[in-house]
Amino acid sequence: MQQRHPANTLHPTTKKNNTMTYDETLQYLYNSLPMYHRIGQAAYKADIANTVSLMQHLGHPEQRFRSIHVAGTNGKGSVSHMLASILMQAGYKVGLYTSPHLVDFRERIRINGAMIPQEEVTRFVETHKDYMQTLQLSFFEMTVGLSFDHFAAQQVDVAVVEVGMGGRLDSTNVITPDLSIITNIGLDHTQFLGDTLPKIAAEKAGIIKPHIPVVIGETHPETRPVFQRAAAAMQSPIHFADDHYRIIEQPAPPSLSPSNLHFTVHHRPGTHTPFAPLEPQTVYTCPLSGSYQLHNLATLFQTLELLPAAGYTLSGQHIRDGIARVVTDTGLHGRWETVDTQPLTICETAHNADGIAAMLGKLATLPYRQLHLVYGCVNDKDYMKILHMLPHGPAVHYYYTQPSVPRALPVAQLAGAAAACGMAGEAYPAVGEAIRAARAAAQPDTDLVLVTGSIFLVADAVEHYSRTTL
């Protein structure tokens, strides 16, 4: 994630006995350790040897808590947060590891929704800094070590662990989980994972462990046999969620917010015995709106079906409440999130072709007179493909910008490419400037402002809104 001045979002810490302050700790982490989300490919390591060594150095914390491992091209963050929220509602002490963060580094590591304390981050870095430098750890490797050490020390009942990239060589892949989940496969990070769906699927299938059940969220004819072969080699039961579950969006009941997603869950007949807590007549409410969440929810319900066999106790009420409270329970932001209503302003972290396509499906359901689209991305995305996917025409106006990370695609390059595609708009060097311009041009009651294209763009937008009274 981009380096931000901690004083903007965190309470300042004071220096005691020549120890590092939290601000100094963050500066060390951002400046001393290679960080993929800042510098890209130079920080990527195609093996997990460092993480294995780090786990040994820390006394194998990854072996001292139960876990659920979540991979996938899109949707893994939403599934991870919803699953963590449901387990919290069921009374479990739940660790949640995700990446990247939006504003605060500590968003990556939570227990029952609470971010890891600043002093724990500083203590870990001070204690292990010399070893980390000797091993030349990356930022992500250190963060995985910090999170697993924290979860073990706090004796969580279970940790939901989101893969950073791929699976087979991801630093999180040192755990032996109760369940593995792969949400879907799309063409993203092709320079690391391969340039075809089967190659990418093979990398993500690397999280499948011997005899551990695996859930595949979305079936694709090119990737299904890859997962079947990998599961067979590990003697792991495999479950394709869309073979068993169908999630149907419902109109908002009069008493409930239309900005939420309302849905019913249906078990496909003839597959196997329906999941006991499943309530087919219930209209569930999910604050993670967007029709693409229907795929994530099928993945989620297939996962929930398998948890009792692993020793977890869940009720229908736990599931309903966990889905409804996912944002407040886990602090999830940026998934089709409404940040203002005058004009209606939505932030969406879609950042690859599949994610953009899903976002456009949701956009098509909203009425508006004029769309004001704030767009920017990082330099390793196929932005030309995405520009051709985005809406064109007199009812849309673009505000091109760039997220505040070194990997950002320069806004001048983006705006030039968009102009060649006939997409009207202006360039703004900072996200906040683009948002202010879009809001100033939008009619409060009839227009829509959409901020999208990158997780880091949304991070800048969230920080902008947290600092600004609009």
* pLDDT tens per residue, range 100-120: 888 889 999 999 999 999 999
- Residue 425: φ, ψ to 5°: 170, 175
- Take residue 377 and report the two structure tokens written for it: 């991305």
Domains, the chain, ranges and CATH?
337-467 (3.90.190.20)
pLDDT at position 469 over 60: no
- Percent of the chain scored above 90 by pLDDT? 60
pLDDT at site 11: 37
pLDDT at site 115: 97
The per-residue b/e assignment along 251-284, b for 16 or more CB within 10 angstroms, e otherwise, is eeeeeeeeeebbbebbbeeeeeebbebbeeeebb
Residue written as tokens 């009812």? 395
pLDDT at position 78 over 60: yes
What is the pLDDT averaged over residues 395-404? Answer: 94
Q: Which residues contact 360 (CB under 8 A, 6 or more apart)?
A: 389, 390, 391
> What is the maximum span of the chain, computed from C-alpha positions, in angstroms?
67
What is the pLDDT averaged over residues 342-361? Answer: 86
Residue written as tokens 């005058």? 342
* pLDDT tens per residue, range 212-262: 999 999 999 999 999 999 999 999 999 999 999 999 999 876 655 657 889
The per-residue b/e assignment along 40-58, b for 16 or more CB within 10 angstroms, e otherwise, is beebbbeebebbebbbeeb
What is the tally of helices (H) and strands (E) in the chain?
A: 18, 17
3-state SS assignment for residue 345: strand
pLDDT at site 144: 96
* pLDDT tens per residue, range 36-76: 444 444 444 567 999 999 999 999 999 999 999 999 988 99
pLDDT at site 464: 85
Residue by residue, DSSP assigns 390-408 as S--STTEEEEE---SSTTB
* Confidence class for position 4, pLDDT limits 50, 70, 90: very low
Q: Give CA separation, 168 vs 149, 202, 207, in Å.
A: 21, 8, 6
Cβ atoms of 112 and 93 closer than 8 Å: yes
Show the CA angle centred on residue 36, arms to residues 289 and 149, nearest 5°.
80
Query: CA-CA distance, 52 to 112, in Å (whole number)?
Result: 27
pLDDT at site 281: 77
Q: Please name which of 208, 263, 211, 265 lies closest in space to residue 241, comparing C-alpha atoms.
A: 265
What is the pLDDT averaged over residues 402-406? Answer: 88
